[in-house]
Structures are given as C-alpha cells and as structure tokens.
Amino acid sequence: MKRGLQENEQEEGGGPSGGYQKSIKWSTKEDEEKELEQQGASWERLPQEILLHIFQYLPLLDRAYASLVCRGWNQVFHMPELWRCFEFELNQPASSYLKATHPELIKQIIKKHSNHLQYVSFKVDSSRESAEAACNILSQLVNCSLKTLGLISTARPSFMEMPKSHFISALTVVFVNSKSLSSLKIDDTPVDDPSLKVLVANNSDTLKLLKMSSCPHVSPAGIMCVADQCHGLRELALNYHLLSDELLIALSSEKHVHLEHLRIDVVSENPGQQFHTIKKSSWDAMVRHSPKFNLVMYFYLYEEEFDPFFRDEIPVTHLYFGRSVSKDVLGRVGLTCPRLVELVVCANGLRPLDEELIRIAQRCTQLSAIGLGECEVSCSAFVEFVKMCGDRLKQLSIMEEVLVPDHRYELDDIHWEVSKHLGRVWFPDMMPTW
Amino acid sequence: MVVNSVHWFRKGLRLHDNPALQEALSGADTVRCVYVLDPWFAGAANVGINRWRFLLESLEDLDNSLKKLNSRLFVVRGQPTEVFPRLFKEWNVTRLTFEYDPEPYGKERDGAIIKMAQEFGVETVVRNSYTLYHLDRIIEMNNNNPPLTFKRFQAIVSRLELPRRPLAPVSQQQMNRCLGKISENHDQLYSIPSLEELGFRTEGLPPPVWRGGESEALDRLSRYLDKNVWVANTRVKTCSLYASPTGLSPYLRFGCLSCRLLYYNLREIYMKLCKRSSPPLSLYGQLLWREFFYTAATNNPNFDRMEGNPICVQIPWDQNPEALAKWAEGRTGFPWIDAIMTQLRQEGWIHHRARHAVACFLTRGDLWISWESGMKVFEELLLDADWSVNAGSWMWLSCSAFFQQFFHCYCPVGFGRRTDPSGDYIRRYVPILKDFPNRYIYEPWNAPESLQKAANCVVGVDYPKPMINHAEGSRLNIERMKQVYQQLSHYRGLSLLASVPTIQEEAEPPMTDESQTSSGPDSPPRVLADIEAAVCLMAPDSSTSAPVPDQDNASLHQLFQDHCTSSGWPSSPASSPPQSPAPRSKPGSPSSSCPSPSASPSLLPRRRKGVAHKGRRSQRQRERSSCPMAKEEDEEERMQEEADEERMEEETAAAAQQ
C-alpha cells in the first residue's frame, strides 16, 4: 500500500518530500558522474542517502530482504528515518484474512527503534488477543515520543473487550512519555476521563486532532477538560452525548485556535431515547469564532427520536443519515441547515422525497454532494433538484431503482436530463440483476 | 475416412442452438453424446441437493430428447482426463466437440483435453454458445482489459455487431445419418445416476420448484414470451419474491436455454410490440449482466477470492463461523433475512432484491464477514450460481470491486418492508411468525410481550433475537469501509462519505529536517489532494457515449426498462405449495463446474477519471450534444484516452495489492 502511494506521488511529481527529492537528484547526478569516471557504477558504493531514499519506497518485507545483502545495506535498514512511521497490524489467523506484523519484527522494533517511532498506528482485528497485543506494545513504548497515534479496529471493536485498566495503563504510558502528541485517534475504545487528564497534562500544547467516537467511558466533563486546555485543537470527533453548550463555548473562546472539523455521531443506545438540545447561540458562537469549520454529523436514530433535532438553525456541513429518516425531518433539514455541503440519506419511508429535495436545493446553497439510497424520488422532482443545484453538484448518487418515472420523465430521460444540467455525463447507480 | 464424433456436454445441456453439437454431426458417420460425471469426486465439492437434482433432471431430459432421435446420452463415470483416452480407443473416435467454456478453470481443463485429443489424433472442435459475444473481442475492444463498470461494458457492446443467430435444434434427419449402435447394456453402463448414487438422502425430499431440462426451459420461454403475460409483466412494476413459472435463470446457467435464443426472442417481441427498429440495451438486462461478469472473470483465475485478485479491494473482513452459520441457516433473528435464506435453501432460487439484501447483510451492511463465505453458500444452494456471476455479484454487493458507492446499506427491516409491505413472504418461509401483525412482522423483537405471547412466538424462545444491532453494526461498518477506501484514495475517486474532510492525520515520516517542518501533521498538501480526489469521484463513468434520448414510444420503452432492470425476471406469484425444509445438503459438484484456478492474474482495475479529464470530457459532451455528427469519432478518441489512463492505472493497481 505504502509503496503504491509513494510511487503514485512521484509520478505526479508531488508528494510531501518534493523539495528533498530535488536536492537528492542533484547530488546523485554529480556522484554518478564521478563514480562512472573513476571505477564504474557499483551497487555497494551507492551513497547511504540514496539507499535510504530507495528503501523508503520499498515495502517492509522487501526492505528486510535487502538488508541481508551486505553490511552497508543493513546499516541503512536500521537508520532512524525509516522507522519514524510504522503501522502495526495485529491479526489472529482465526479471526482475520489479513497477515499480521511478524512478532520477531515487533520485538526488533521495540528493542532497536522504539525511540525513532513518531507516527504510529495499530490496526487490530476483532479478537481480544489482538487488542491485548497492541496494548502490550504500547506499554513498552517508554522511551519514544510519538507525534501521532491511531488505534484502529478493522472489524468489531476489540479494544472494548479488554479490561479497561489494562487498556488505560498502556495508553497513559504513551501520553506520559510522548509529551508532543499532535494527533490521537482512539475511536471505539474504553478510554476514560482520568486518562484524558493525563493526556492533557502532558500534551496540551501540541494536540491538534482528537478522535474518540463511541468511547462510552468518557463523560462531558472529560471532554471539557480537553477543550479547556488544548487550545491548539483543530479537529474533534465524539458522540452527541458529550456535546454540550459549554463545550462549544470553550472551543470558541478567544484563546482557542480556529476549529476546522467537528464530527458528531448521534447514536441511540436504546429505542425511544431522549436527546438534549444545543442552543442556537452556542452554535452561533462557534461559527463566529471558526467561520469555516466543518460540522460533520452522523445520525443512527429511529425515526421517532429525531424530535429534538433540526428545530433551530444548525451550522452542519456534512450530514449522514444511516437509518430511515422521515420526510418531516428532511423537510426541516432544508429549513435549518444553510451551510450544508454534503448530504447522504440511506433510506426514508415509503413516500417520495420530492418537496423536501426541492427545498434543500433552494435553501442549502453550498450543497455540492448528495447521495440517496432507499429514498424514492419522482423523476421530475429529481431533475428539478439537479437543475436548481446545477454544476455545483460535484457528487450525485442515487440508485436507479428508487427513481419513480412520472408523466414528464422516464428513466432513460433522467440520465440525459441530469447530464445536461450537471454539464457532465451522469448515470444513476445500478445494482446487478442477478 | 470414417468420422466418429463425440460431443461432450458440460453446460449447454440442450439440442437447440448447439453449434458444437452441429459440428459433431456434420459429415459424421457416428455421433455419441457424452456427459462425464464423477460420482466419487462429487462428494468433494460444495454443491447442494437442489443443484444436483436440477442437473440430473436436465440430463434425463437430454437423454429423452436423444431417444426420440433414436440416440442416447452416454453418462460416463470418471474424470475427463481418465475417461477420454478410454473412449477414444473404445469408440475409435476421430472428432471431439464441445462448447467453449470461458471460465478460467474450464479453459485450463479443456486445454488439457485438447492436448490429449491431439495425441490420440482426435480432431477437437470448440464452439462458443454459452455467451452472447466472444468475450475476448469485448476485452480487445477495451484495450485488452475487461471493462469494470457496467456502463462501459454496455458502451462496448453497443458497438458490437449483433450476436450470432441461434441455430435450429438437431433434427431427426441429421441424427439418422450418424446413428451409432446403442448397446443392449447401455443403461447399465451409461445411465444417469440417481441422487442416492451421488450420496444424497432423498426421503422426504419435496418435489422440485424448478424442474431441470431443456423441455421445461422451452416451455417457460414460450410462457414468458406470451404476448399477454409479457405486457402484463412489464406494465406492473411488480417485484414478486416467489419463484415464477416463467423464471429462466437456472436454465441459462445449465445451458438448458440458449442465451442467444432468449436474446432474439426478446428482440423480436419487443420489435413486434413496440414497432421500433432497435431495442434498447436495457431490454436484455440480466443477459448483459451475465455477460459482464463473464468478461470480467474469464482471464482472472482468482476472481472468486480476495487474495491475489487484482480487481478486488482488500477489506479486513471478520472471520466468525458462528455468525456465518446463523446467516446461512436463516437464524439471524431478522425475519426478512431468515425468510430469504430459507427460500434459498428450500427452493434454490431467490429474487435479486433478496440476494442484495442477504449479501449486504452478511458483508458490509451488518456482519462484516467476507463475501467469499457468502459466495460459497450461494454456490451450494443457488440453482443459477455461475462461478463468474456469483463471485462478481458478491464483489459488487460487498463493494469489493466495480466502483460502488458504499454509503448505502440495505436495512434488514426497512428494505423488506418496502419490498413486501404485507409480510406474507415472511409468513410463508418463517411460519412461526405467521400470527404477528404487519407492523411487527419485520421486527418481532419490538412487539410488546403480550402480543408475542398472543402470536405464539416469544422472541428469544421460539424465534431468535436479532443477532446484531443493525444501527450499531452499520455505523461501525461504514467507518471500516471509509478506512479502506481512504487508503485507496490515491488510486481513484473516493466514495461520498470518504470525502468528508479531515486535517492531515498521520504524516509520512519526513526525510529531512527541512521537510519535517513543512509536512508535519498539519500541512496542507495532503488535504488538498484529498479534496481533489473527492472531486474526481463523480467524474463521468468511462462508458458514457453521448446520451441518446429515446423520444418516441417512451412509455413502452419504459415498460421494458422496468422489466429488465428494476424487477428482473418476470414475476407472478408461484402457486407451489409451502415446502418443508430440504434435507441437509451434501457437498458435491458436477465435474464440469468445479473451479480450481491457479494461473496468474491479468486483470487490472480501472479508475475514475481525474479532474482534467472530466473538464475536457464535459466540454466535449456539450459539443457533442449540439453536433451529433462528431459523435462517432469523438467516441473513438475518448476511448483511446481512457485506455491511456487505464494503462497508467495498471501500475498503481498492482501496487494496491501490496
């Protein structure tokens, strides 16, 4: 994966290390000429910096093989530059199809390179053993200073199955030792308020990104502590139950930098749950403080739980409805979401969404992406919607089977009409008849 | 010189439109029709009793038809590589004919047989009749890569000449000229095996809902093409979940029905009823989908797996045998899912919307289990499961290939309710729930306890509780999918959700101190790149020729469109009685359809087009719409341009596999 990515970047002449590449090329040329003049090109005489550069583009396994070629290459293999970024993959053969990082390699890294690690992520499968293995590694990272840490569950979240204390103690090892964490992704983990305090106490000056959706052990007070002290925080992801007026006020205080992204997951734990509301004045404060911030909201609610939402204006920019949502709520979205950029609706009831879409086209003048799943829309309303949005609709996705033909348009006309209004060729999404 | 032909039946179990069989008959002194079957080997593969029964019935029908022509079917026990040398000698064979098999496993098997025949001095004649087109021709026209979007595939097909016309059935006259001797003990040596011989228990086996064989296929075809039925089916946008007496897909799978015969019959009735010169491609909906997946798979022996499959996105699916078993046996606790899986197990066929529902539920929607596991269950149970179509459809529905939007998961409650609001489908296949009112029949766990008791079915006692919280499951899975697709963002456009922006998260390790300052966790370049990638998403699909609106006769056109793309095969409620559960099926496979691919992959994915191309193309698109004459030439140029992009894509795609 890494290799492909970098190759691609290089082809396009871009990439994060573009400047560096230039200087390398320059010196390469000189070296090459000298070498060719003197004793002809030879592999073992490749300068270390070039080898290092080459190694960077090799997948880990190839790098390891290359390191067996000679002493010089082996030295390069162990250069700190190659160990700043590492992704530990922890999978069990019984629960995953993917390969795991070899245990010997993990030992080596901890022994020789833990102090070089800066950008680290752990990908764990659904088994508890994998989560525990990740925590064991974390707790050994005592002499390193991480800049970014991501704990990523690739299937069912297995960190949640661990004893909380074990997880917390491993995580706080990193918090205490790193002191300059700028990005922390710990969605679906048992992180709690006290551990967040440790995080803040050690990394408050550097923390820019914190993602902790679905962390049930964190309370509103815990996240307030982060917001109050980490004034550089620019991106935050959490569940709705942690969102409060106080939090928004804290994030829009003068000391705080502009927030760029706020992601909120609205999930109901049990049917019929009552949700609190956020004051319009708090949102207004946020928009005044960070006029360009993205508010991304994911809703996974039963229809009847939407009552408190979209009553007042809300500065949401990206809106995702993961379950069936009523016509009424979508109608309110059109009235209350003037900053809306992207809208995804997975399903609605049995009645077409026509007027609601038209209203959204009228009121949400920033809307540039929309995806509709099981949402019936009449062909005329859909064409009208696209016509109103025009070519600002950069992404438009709807399943062919939910478009309802009417007196004005048949399904075949839709493709033509919509393409005309978008100024590019467009087709509805299809599912195979199989 | 004496010509002794053997025609080897595998798929293509029919006498009509059988070009290879015609070749066997042509100028021959004797012709023998052979089916090779290994009853011992049958136990090794994963094919259920309904599929075996369908095959055996098809063979019986074939034998009966041959009897009417004073010939017989020779079912020879064994493996092709062992059987043929024996037959070649015994029958003094000079010519071997069979239908071309486009699947990688079949190609490999046939290659070995052709080589062996050569050694015996036996001429081999292979004819294509399983697909409408020569798949290699489609691939060639797409710059030697199979098209990976259906639109693109349609665009290429629309430039091809019409498929070859179907041939007439073998006639008595033809057969008379080359009748071989049928020995007295034919039935002893070459009879069609029974299910018992294959090791299945048949006590209590209910009568088949789908009876195999060419005769049945042709009966169904004529019912299907009956003018009144046809119009009625197309007018109402019905979506019957039940087996239809005019359903054809299993017959296409076993070749009891020629796809070309169906093609030309559809074309004819359309032109008769609609008085149009050229029917839209959508008329042939399912036939083209089949062709599409065959084209994608023909050169990819790993098409049925994630590993080593260059068109398949590597997704970290969970391995969870218990959950898989619950799904496969219809014990998920979601009546919609359980009813579908029960129908599949009992009858061997489910509607394509039902396939979508259970496939999504197993994979990206709820259980996060690999599509390969689901594909294997379908391979066992689904009568019309073709290797290519089955794997391809599973990849499609699990968003593993073919560039699907992944934001939309079918809800195991809502989707069922939309499809069959009455819930009668549930009552038929999960009868324990029959007394639940409509309001709760798709979500019985939400019914008040008193109601559950009154309905004689307490959830958690008489019927399982839902095995997963759908809201929570789909929330997690959407995140997982985003992770996967965000990693691929450099190869092609993102899906809707994945384009939700974020600040730079994990920086690549900077190489030098200078660059360290500029590419720290918050540097802008990657953000821009991501946004750019996101913008690419909706760049036009490769396949798009200028939209040609069909102005006239729109409403009938619509009928056909509905018929073929929305509701699939025609549907009228089946009248077959409720089935009792079939005996647990036993693994086994007809020797002709057991894939064991091993060659190296050669397919490469296509990517969505970049911003620049989009701009250029949309400009041309506008020009095109005002200047229809330029269309043809422009199309050529555009396809060339895409081919170039695809070549560029090849390397990155290969790298994506790392």
Residue A52 sits in a domain whose CATH number is: 1.20.1280.50
A240-269 mean pLDDT: 93
Average pLDDT over residues A347-352: 80
Distance (Å, whole) CA B420 – CA B239: 8
Question: Do B117 and B88 touch, CB atoms closer than 8 A?
Answer: yes
pLDDT confidence of residue A39: 57
Closest listed residue to residue B286, CA positions, set B241, B244, B232, B250: B250
Is residue A404 within 8 A of residue A376, CB to CB? The reply is yes
Give the tens place of pLDDT for each residue, B294-322.
999 999 999 999 999 999 999 999 999 99
* Structure tokens that stand for B622 in this block: 């506008």
**Band (A32; pLDDT cuts 50, 70, 90):** low
Residue of A nearest to B479 (CA): A154
Name all contacts of B472-476 with Cβ < 8 Å and 24+ positions apart: B472/A267, B472/A300, B473/B365, B473/B366, B473/B367, B473/B368, B474/A300, B474/A322, B474/A323, B474/B365, B474/B366, B474/B409, B474/B411, B475/A214, B475/A265, B475/A267, B475/A298, B475/A300, B475/A322, B476/A153, B476/A156, B476/A157, B476/A188, B476/B368
Residue B521 has a pLDDT of 31
Residues of A in contact with B487 (CB under 8 A): 1
- Quick check: is A361 in a domain? yes
| CA B301 – CA B111 distance, rounded (Å) | 15
List CB contacts of A120: < 8 A, sequence separation 6 or more. Answer: A85, A86, A87, A88, A141, A146, A148, A149, A150
Residue B71 banded pLDDT, cuts 50, 70, 90: very high
ipTM of predicted complex: 0.84
Cβ-Cβ contacts under 8 Å, B549 against chain A? 412-413, 416
Give the tens place of pLDDT for each residue, A284-342: 999 999 999 999 999 999 888 999 999 999 999 999 998 888 999 999 999 999 999 99
C-alpha span between B334 and B357 (Å, rounded) = 11
d(CA B145, CA B153) in angstroms, rounded, equals 11
- The reply to whether residue B537 touches residue A96, judged by beta carbons under 8 angstroms, is no
Residues A193-241 pLDDT 10s? 999 999 999 999 999 999 999 999 999 999 999 999 999 999 999 999 9
Number of domains in chain A: 2
Q: How far is A37 from chain B (nearest CA, A)?
A: 29
Q: Any known ligand binding at B132? A: no
Which of A1, A427, A433 lies closest to B541 in CB terms? A427
Q: Residue B581 has what pLDDT?
A: 36
CA distance B192 to chain A (A): 30
List the domains of chain B with CATH numbers: 1-130 (3.40.50.620), 321-488 (1.10.579.10)
Contacts of A423 in chain B (CB under 8 A): 618, 621-622
In a domain, A74, yes or no: yes
Which of B251, B262, B254 lies closest to B285 in space, CA to CA? B262
Residue A183, φ and ψ in degrees, nearest 5: -140, 130
Indicate the average pLDDT of chain A. 87
pLDDT of B543 = 32
Nearest CA in chain B to A52: B511
Distance, in Å, from the CA atom of A15 to the CA atom of B399, rounded to the nearest integer, reads 29
Residue B360 at interface with chain A, using a CB cutoff of 8 Å: no
Task: Give A294 to chain B, closest Cα distance, Å.
Answer: 8
Is the minimum CB–CB distance between B626 and chain A shorter than 8 Å? no
H-helix or E-strand containing A152?
strand A148-153
Q: Say what the pLDDT of residue A99 is.
A: 86
What pLDDT is stored for residue A362 in this prediction? 95
Looking at residue A28, what is its pLDDT? 52
Check CB contact under 8 Å for B503 and A209: yes
d(CA B101, CA B133): 13
CB A426 to CB B320 under 8 A?
no
| The pLDDT value given to residue A29 | 53
The residue-averaged pLDDT of B99-128 equals 96
In chain B, what's the furthest Cα-to-Cα distance?
91
Q: pLDDT per residue over A46-100, tens digit each?
A: 888 888 899 988 888 888 888 888 888 888 998 998 999 999 999 999 999 888 9
Q: What is the rounded distance in angstroms from the CA atom of residue A244 to the CA atom of residue A125?
A: 33
Q: Which of A125, A267, A318 sits opposite B500 (nearest CB)?
A: A318
Mean pLDDT value of segment A159-163: 95
Question: Cβ separation of A394 and B506 shorter than 8 Å?
Answer: no
Which of A82, A104, A134 finishes a domain?
A: A82
Q: CB contact, 8 Å: B639 with chain A?
A: no
The answer to whether residue A278 is domain-embedded is no
Q: Which domain holds residue A414?
A: 316-433
pLDDT at position B39 is 78
- A35 part of a folded domain: no
User: Using an 8 Å Cβ cutoff, are A353 and A326 in contact?
Assistant: no
Q: How many CA atoms lie within 13 A of B433 on its CB side?
A: 30
Q: Which helix (H) or strand (E) segment is A37 a member of? A: helix A18-38
Per-residue pLDDT, averaged over B416-420, amounts to 89
Distance CA A432, CA B20 (A): 30
Q: How far apart are CA B635 and CA B543, in angstroms?
A: 10
pLDDT of B171-212, one tens digit each? 999 999 887 778 889 999 999 999 988 888 889 899 999 999
Question: Is B386 annotated as ligand-binding?
Answer: yes
Phi and psi, residue A343, nearest 5°: -135, 125
The CA distances from residue B649 to B268, B406, B592, in Å, are 41, 22, 35
Residue A346: inside a domain: yes
Give the confidence band of A276 by pLDDT, cuts at 50, 70, 90: very high
B321 touching chain A per CB within 8 A: no
Maximum mean pLDDT: which of B78-92, B178-192, B559-573: B78-92
The β-bridge partners of A238 are A264
Q: Are A336 and A314 in contact (CB under 8 A)?
A: yes
Which of A82, A101, A130 lies at the terminal end of a domain, its last residue?
A82
pLDDT of A343 reads 94
Residue B147 — very low, low, confident or very high, per pLDDT cuts 50/70/90? Answer: very high
Look at the block and give the residue holding tokens 């969870």. B320
Confidence of residue A22 (pLDDT cuts 50, 70, 90): very low
* Rounded Cα–Cα distance for residues B316 and A125 (Å): 8
Scanning the structure block, which residue is given the tokens 């070649």? B88
Cβ–Cβ under 8 Å, residues B319 and B365: no
The single residue listed with the structure tokens 């005489």 is A45
Check if B316 contacts A (Cβ < 8 Å): yes
Q: Which of residues 499-558 of B touch A (CB under 8 A)?
A: 499-503, 505-512, 514-515, 518-523, 525-526, 529, 534-535, 537-541, 544, 547-550, 554-555, 557-558
Give the contacts of A187 (CB within 8 A, at least 6 positions apart).
Answer: A151, A152, A153, A157, A211, A212, A213, A214, A215, A237, B479
Which of A150, A154, A322 is closest, CB to CB, to B480?
A: A154
Q: Are B34 and B87 in contact (CB under 8 A)?
A: yes
In a domain, A20, yes or no: no
DSSP E strands in B257-351: the ranges are none
B57 assigned binding-site residue: no
Domain membership flag for residue A95: no
Sign of the alpha-carbon torsion through A136, A142, A143, A146: positive
pLDDT digits (tens, 9 = 90+) for B524-556: 223 222 322 332 222 233 333 333 333 333 332
In A260-341, where do the E strands start and end? Answer: 261-267, 294-300, 318-325
From the CA atom positions of chain B, what is the Rg in Å? 27
Min mean pLDDT across B42-56, B216-230, B293-307, B571-585 is at B571-585
Distance of CA A161 to the CA centre of its chain: 23
Which residues does chain A have within 8 Å of residue B478's beta carbon, measured at their own beta carbons? 298, 322
Q: Do A432 and B502 touch (CB under 8 A)?
A: no
Burial of B331 (0-12, 13-18, 19+ CB in 10 A): middle
Q: Which residue among B474, B509, B539 places its CB closest to the CB of A119?
A: B509
**Cα–chain-centroid distance for residue A195?**
22
pLDDT at residue B577 in the model: 35
Q: Over range B653-657, report the average pLDDT.
A: 38
Q: How far apart are CA A234 and CA B644, in angstroms?
A: 41
Annotation-wise, does B646 bind a ligand? no
In one-letter notation, the amino acid at residue A429 is D
Bigger pLDDT: A178 vs B641 = A178
pLDDT at B275 (0 to 100):
67
CB contact under 8 A, A342 and B614: no
Average pLDDT, integer, range A241-269 = 93
pLDDT value of residue B45 = 67
pLDDT, tens only, B424-476: 999 999 999 999 999 999 999 999 999 999 999 999 999 999 999 998 898 89
pLDDT of residue B526: 30
Mean pLDDT over each residue of chain B, to the nearest integer? 77
3-state helix, strand, coil in chain B (%, to 5): 50, 5, 45
Q: Is the predicted pLDDT of residue A26 greater than 60, yes or no? A: no
Distance CA(B633)–CA(B545), nearest Å, equals 11
Structure letter (DSSP) for residue B166:
P
Is A14 close to B525, i.e. CB distance below 8 A? yes
Pick the residue from chain B with its C-alpha nearest to A320. B497
User: What's the pLDDT band for B238 if we cut at 50, 70, 90?
Assistant: low
pTM assigned to the model: 0.81
Distances from the Cα of A225 to the Cαs of A67, A228, B471, in angstroms? 47, 5, 30
Identity of the residue in A9, A20, A148 whose CB atom sits nearest the CB atom of B512? A20
User: Min CA distance, B549 vs chain A (Å)?
Assistant: 6
Does residue A429 lie within any of the structural domains? yes
pLDDT at A270 over 90: no
Q: Which of B621, B471, B406 is nearest to A397 (CA)?
A: B406
Distance CA B102, CA B410 (A): 33
Q: Quick one: pLDDT band at residue B572, thresholds 50, 70, 90?
A: very low
Which of A82, A101, A128 is where one domain is finished? A82
In which band, very low, low, confident or very high, does the pLDDT at B239 lie, cut at 50, 70 and 90? low
* Contact state of A17 with B534 under an 8 Å Cβ cutoff: no
In terms of C-beta distances under 8 Å and separation of at least 24 residues, what long-range contacts does B460-469 make, across chains too?
B462/B432, B463/B333, B463/B335, B463/B430, B463/B432, B463/B433, B464/B326, B464/B331, B464/B332, B464/B333, B465/B333, B466/B332, B466/B333, B466/B334, B467/B323, B467/B326, B467/B331, B467/B332, B467/B333, B467/B334, B467/B367, B468/B332, B468/B366, B468/B367
Q: Rounded mean pLDDT of B593-610?
A: 31
